[in-house]
Amino acid sequence: MGGENNQQKLQKHISNKKVVWIIDTAYPSPSKDSGSVRLNALMGILSDLGFTVIFTPLGGGGKTAPGQETSPLLASFSDAITALRSAESLVIWMCRLPIAEFVISHKSIKEIEGAIHVYDTVDLHGLRLERLGIELGSKILAGISPRILLREIQVIRQCDKAVVVSSHEQELLRQLGENNVALISNVNKVSENSVPWGERGGQLFVGNFRHLPNVTGLKWYLQEVWPLLSPQIRGEGLTIVGSPKPRLRDYHVVDSHKIFILGHQEQIDDLVRHSKLSIAPLLSGAGVKGKVGQSLGLGVPVVATTVASEGMFLDNELARMVADAPEEMAGVIEGLMTESENNLLLGAAGIDIVRKHFSKNKATRQLKDLFFELGLGE
């Protein structure tokens, strides 16, 4: 007799269990982008809450990344559709607009009785394209972005619940009449920075350079802000982390001998802790920026634009880190690089913000609330 096929193995594992079926383009790679860090953390929390997690990468990339914290069951789309009918309860968690549109319109999905549909926007694509169009002066993007947002709203209305990562996006959707939207933001590590001030130095930029706002934001910073800094501050250096590894000559930088480009790094916590500050000079984008939460959670201030700080609850003293004009940003950086007491105070305040809004405990409460509303919680 032959062995069990994939459908049979999957069905045996999930029969009469509470299942969350997560569908995205690819398996999360936490060392490469903040969306992966968030999804990886959410899968771990769902498992802790007693759900069996199934993951389907519709765009391929079905292997677990090195150092992956969670290992959900991997299944093809067709295998999952067949096997998941035996689950006690089923939540279909669809990440990103194209995935959600495909899944909710699929005939076989419609035939699964009692399935709950959750649309995780990851970020509002229409908002991101609108801002990118403004930054680039693109009439094409300006014309596309409202249609993308309309498609997102249409998907939201077909689902039992939508999820956004930013309080700004949640409020924007409310203003458009969409109230069935939950907030489940990024999940960042919270840890006191034990590196003495005297052992810290320089600035840090972290970004995925396949994401255009990181490319244009860094270019703006290097051309408009970096030259305004004093030789002393530039002399402490700027470290750039991310892949594909950018070429400094493409940015036409003045005084570049203290700019260090490291490319992709699997772990960057130590780099963050040993920096005096991080920068997030983004001019467009949407959602919540992982680079900001990561730095704040490790006790390192972040000098950021309004776009980069959106949804991060940077009020009161932390609002002083937000600057949009080159001269203003350069002044904030000069101050935080030379005034240790102010730097350390803002670092401590950043930890408090992450603990309150972006910790694993916060995400656990948000997920519990979401599933309670969907009739699956205690």
The rounded distance, in Å, linking the Cα atoms of 73 and 21 is 9
Average pLDDT, integer, range 58-85: 71
pLDDT digits (tens, 9 = 90+) for 229-278: 999 999 999 999 999 988 888 887 877 889 999 988 988 999 999 999 99
Q: Are the C-beta atoms of residues 35 and 120 closer than 8 Å to each other? A: no
Q: How distant is the alpha carbon of residue 267 from its chain centre?
A: 16
358 near 185, Cβ under 8 Å? yes
Q: What residue type is assigned to position 4 of the chain? A: E
Domain boundaries, the chain: 6-187+359-373, 197-357
Q: How far is CA 251 from CA 29, 220, 268, in A?
A: 28, 9, 24
In 274-359, which ranges are continuous DSSP H helix? 290-297, 306-309, 326-338, 340-357
Given a cut of 90, whether residue 14 has pLDDT beyond it is no
pTM of the model: 0.88
Number of Cβ within a 10 Å radius of residue 199 = 8
* 122 secondary structure, DSSP code: S
Question: Do the first three CATH levels of 6-187+359-373 and 197-357 match, i.e. the same topology?
Answer: yes
Could you tell me which residues are beta bridge partners of residue 18?
A: 89
Tell me the pLDDT of the chain averaged across its residues.
91
Tokens 């009918």 belong to residue? 85
For the segment 322-345, the average pLDDT, to the nearest whole number, is 96
Per-residue pLDDT at 359? 94
Burial code of 132-151, b = ≥16 C-beta within 10 A, e = fewer? Answer: bbebeeeeebeebbeebbeb
According to DSSP, the residues that pair with 94 across neighbouring strands are 23, 119
- 197-357, which class in CATH? alpha beta
Q: Is the pLDDT of residue 2 over 80?
A: no
Handedness of CA 44, 45, 50, 56 (dihedral sign): negative
Q: For the chain, what's the residue count?
A: 378
Q: Is the pLDDT of residue 72 over 50?
A: yes
**Interval 173-218: pLDDT, tens:** 999 999 999 999 999 999 888 899 999 999 999 999 999 999 999 9
8 Å CB contact between 92 and 19: no
pLDDT at 61: 52
CATH number of 6-187+359-373: 3.40.50.2000
